[in-house]
Amino acid sequence: MIPERLAWLDSGPTRALAELFTRSGHEIYLVGGSVRDALLDRPADDMDFATDARPDRLKALLSDWADHLYLMGERFGTVGALRQGTRYEITTFRAEAYASDSRQPVVTFGNSIAADLERRDFTVNAMALKLGEGAPTLVDPFRGLGDLAAKTLRTPIGPSVSFSDDPLRMVRLFRFMSELGFDPNPEEVEAVADMKERLDIVSAERIRDEFSKLVLGEWASPALSLMIESGLAARFIPEVPALAMTEDPDHRHKDVLAHSLAVMAKTDHDLVLRLAALFHDVGKPDTRRFDGPKVTFHHHEVVGAAMTRKRLRQLRYPKATVDQVAELVFLHMRAHTFKMGWTDSAVRRYVRDAGELLPKLNQLARCDVTTRSDRRARRIQRRLDELEERIEHLRAQEEIDSLRPPIDGHDVMAYLGIGPGPMVGSVLRALLAKRIDDGPYERSEAFSVVRELALAEGLDDPGPVPS
C-alpha cells in the first residue's frame, strides 16, 4: 500500500508523464532518492525516473510533451525534461561499473527494473514506484523499506562487489549517514576498511561533491568520525585524521580531531564555514616543534592555511571557496587575542582583514570554544560579545567596513607630478595605515603625509598642500 503522502503521483504532469509512457508500450518508474525522501516525508528537489525506453526513444516521446529538453546526459542514458516549471530526469534502465584502473564508469543499458535497482548504491535508494494508469505500486526487491524503517545503510548486493563496481559508494555511505542519520551496516564498514585504496581511481571532482554534501549534513560529525576510523578519509583528506595524534594545548581533555569535529558540528550549515571549522587546526601537528604559545599559534595559522589551500585545490574546489576557507583558517585565532582589550585601530584592522568573511569569522571564533569549563566558556564568550559590540560602536561612528584614506592614487600622482609606480603604492599603504590607526581624517592631512613622504624619499617639494 502506497502512503497517502504519495498521492501527488496520481495527478498533474507526473500522471501525464506516466500515461505517455504507458500508452506507448513502455514502463516508467519513480526511483532512487525521490522514493526514499517521499517515504521519509523529506522534501525532494528532483524527481528521477527509470524506463525501458532507450535514449533515442526517450527524446521522441518527450519532444512534444516537454517545454524543454536537456540532453547533456544522453550518452549515459539520461534525458532531462522541463514541464510547467518542474524538471524531470528520465534514465534508461542501466548498469555501470568501473574497470580496475578507470576513473569513469562504463555504462550499459538494461531491460528490467530489478537489474537497474541492483546496481544502485544502498537498499534505501533501490526502491521504485511503478507508474501507469492505475495507482503506483512499490517495487522493493532488496528490502529497502525495512532498512528505511531500521535506519540502516546496506548495499543491495555484497558491499565488496558494490564498492568495487563504484568506489565512490564508500564515500556515499558516510554521506548518507550524515544526511539521514542512518547507521551503516557493520559489513559495509568492514568492506570500506578493506577496500579503501580502491577510492584512488575516482576523480577528485566526484569525491569533492560527495564530501561537500557530507560536511553539510545534520550528522556530519559522527559520519566523519566513522569515515576516519575506517581509514577512508586518509585517502583524500589525510590532514584531518592526523589531528587525532595531536593533543590540543588549550583543551587537554581531547585531541585536536575531536575538538575540530565538535567545532564543525556547532556551525551553521554553510560549506565555507564547515570546511573552515574542520580544517582550522590542521596546522597544529606540523607546529609541535615550536616552543611558546605565540610562536605556535602564529605558525599553526600560517601552516594550516597553506595546507588547507593545497588540499582543497587538489579536491578541485572553486577558487573562491578555496580562498575563503583558507582565509578563515588563517584568521581564526585573531578574535581570541581580545583578552586585555583592543584599541580602535586593532578593531579596524580586524574588520578590514576579515572583509566580507566577518560574520563567518565571528561565528567560527564562537564555535571554537569547546572547553568543558562553563566558567571559561562564559568568559571567552563575553570577550567575543565585547568585540562585536566594539565593532558596532565604531561602525556607528565611521565607515569601517570599507576602510580607505580620503585621497586615492590619482590624487597622489597629480599632487606629486609622477606616474604609476612603487612610490604611489608605498604612499597609499601609509595613508591606509594612518586611517586604521587614527580613524577618519581630512584630505588636507592626507596631502601633508604625502608631502612628508615625498621629501623623505628625496623628491622635489610638491608645493602647498591642497585643501
pLDDT of 45 reads 65
DSSP letters along 174-218, please?
A: HHHHHHH-PEEPHHHHHHHHHHGGGGGGS-HHHHHHHHHHHHTST
Cα separation values, 351 from 148, 323, 384, Å: 48, 17, 14
The grid coordinates of residue 436 equal 586604521
DSSP code at position 73: T
Taking the mean position of all CA atoms in its chain, how far away is CA 373?
31
| pLDDT surpasses 70 at 116 | yes
**Between 147 and 392, whose confidence is greater?**
147
> Within a 10 A sphere around the Cβ of 264, how many other Cβ atoms?
22
Looking at residue 8, its pLDDT comes to: 58
Q: Strands across the sheet with 47-51, in order?
A: 68-70, 78-83, 86-92, 47-51, 28-31, 128-131, 137-139
Which pTM value belongs to this model?
0.85
pLDDT tens figures, 138-173: 999 999 999 999 999 999 999 999 999 899 999 999
Q: What is the pLDDT of residue 135?
A: 78
47-51 and 86-92 strand pairing: parallel
Residue-wise pLDDT for 426-466, tens only, equals 999 999 999 988 999 999 999 999 999 999 998 889 889 88
pLDDT given at position 427: 93
Q: How far is CA 384 from the centre of its chain?
A: 26
pLDDT band per the 50, 70, 90 thresholds, residue 292:
very low
Rounded to 10 degrees, the C-alpha dihedral 50/56/57/61 comes to 90
Q: What is the pLDDT of residue 104?
A: 61
Q: Look at residue 287 and tell me whether its pLDDT is greater than 60.
A: no
Rounded to an integer, what distance in angstroms lies between the CA atom of residue 102 and that of residue 109?
19
> What confidence tens digit (pLDDT) does each residue in 307-357 have?
999 999 999 999 999 999 999 999 998 888 776 677 888 888 899 899 999
pLDDT tens for each residue of 100-115: 666 566 678 888 999 9
Report which of residues 1 and 119 the model is more confident about: 119
Average per-residue pLDDT for the chain: 88
Q: Which residues contact 132 (CB under 8 A, 6 or more apart)?
A: 18, 19, 22, 28
CA-nearest of 398, 445, 406, 395 to 428 is 406
Average pLDDT in the 384-393 region? 88
The separation between CA 259 and the C-alpha centre of its own chain, rounded to angstroms, equals 19
In tens, the pLDDT along 17-54 reads: 898 999 999 999 999 888 998 888 887 667 889 999 99
Burial of residue 351 (CB within 10 Å: 0-12, 13-18, 19+) is buried
pLDDT of residue 87: 86
459 burial level (CB within 10 Å; 0-12, 13-18, 19+): middle
Q: Which helix (H) or strand (E) holds 122?
A: none
pLDDT of residue 126: 96
Q: What is the mean pLDDT of residues 245-270?
A: 79
**pLDDT at residue 343 in the model:** 86
For position 99, what pLDDT does the model report?
62
Contact between residue 39 and residue 20 where contact means Cβ atoms under 8 Å apart? no
Residue (of 277, 367, 283, 384) closest to 328 by Cα position: 277
Residues 6+ apart with CB under 8 A from 421: none
* 295/244 Cα distance (integer angstroms): 22
User: In the structure, what pLDDT confidence band is assigned to residue 253 with cuts at 50, 70 and 90?
Assistant: very low
221's CB contacts (< 8 A; 6+ apart) are 261, 262, 264, 265
Give the number of other Cβ atoms within 10 Å of residue 106's Cβ: 11
Q: Stretch 201-209: mean pLDDT, rounded?
A: 96
DSSP assignments along 231-264, one per residue: T-GGGT-TTTGGGGGSEETTEEEEEHHHHHHHHH
**At residue 293, does pLDDT exceed 50?**
no
* Banded model confidence at residue 250, pLDDT cuts 50, 70, 90: low
Q: Are 217 and 175 in contact (CB under 8 A)?
A: yes
